[in-house]
Amino acid sequence: MDINHHIKTLLNHVNLDVTLDAFAVEKLSSIIIFKELNKKEFLIEPGETANTMNFIVQGSMRSYYLDENAQEHTLQLGIEEWWINDLYSYLSRKKSRMYVQALEKTLLIQLPRIELEKLYLEVPEISNFFRIKIQSAYVAVQERVIDSMSDDAYERYDNFRKTYRDIEQRVPQYIVASYLGVTPEFLSYLRKKHS
């Protein structure tokens, strides 16, 4: 594992939104934990509390919950240089109701909550970065909810293809269907209609 390369990937990602000086880089680098997950392994399961921010270095992941009929509903997908978490659990300190699972062999950079919150006070740029990320996540969730209520299944699929161009081929069809709120059979129909 090329630790320095992976840390540089994270720092380049952060520097897209804020500028980190040498002190900030040293402080952020000092709290990094690496975590490897095998395909289908869980990072978070219901009943656990999310205690880290998770940056995907390699691999792909999803977050989902099970309804009362044990039907999966995928809420988030993520690939390299994306963040994935149960933000509800992380921010509220309540037990998770979701699963966060690796779809491929995955390497994460984790930032522990307690250390990260101390860092917010020492390095305001880090606080600004996560404020930007959490605001963006909130906007994305709101857009998704509105789209799910107003767009038909084909429009949702078309938007998914445009937004997640690099994901569709890496994620099993039943998970894409779960994300879109359709059956795998209907997704197959939508794909044929699109091509």
Structure tokens at 8: 């540089």
Predicted pLDDT of residue 193: 77
7: containing domain: 3-150
pLDDT for 22 equals 96
Share of the chain above pLDDT 90, in %: 73
Count: domains in the chain: 1
Residue 45 counted as domain residue:
yes
pLDDT tens-place string over residues 10-48? 999 999 999 999 999 999 999 999 999 999 999 999 999
Residue 115 located in a structural domain: yes
In terms of Cβ atoms closer than 10 Å to its own Cβ (0-12, 13-18, 19+), residue 29 is middle
Query: pLDDT tens digits for 53-100?
Result: 999 999 999 999 999 999 999 999 999 999 999 999 999 999 999 999
Given the DSSP bridges, would you call strands 52-58 and 106-112 parallel, antiparallel or unpaired? antiparallel
Q: Is residue 35 part of a domain?
A: yes
Establish if 118 belongs to a structural domain: yes
- Say how far apart CA 125 and CA 142 lie, in whole Å: 26
| b/e sequence 66-102, b meaning 16+ C-beta within 10 Å | eeeeeeeebbbbbbeeebbbbbebbeeeeebebbbbb
Residue 3: what are its φ and ψ, rounded to 5°?
A: -60, -45
CB burial of residue 53 (10 Å; 0-12, 13-18, 19+): buried
Domain harbouring 86, CATH code: 2.60.120.10
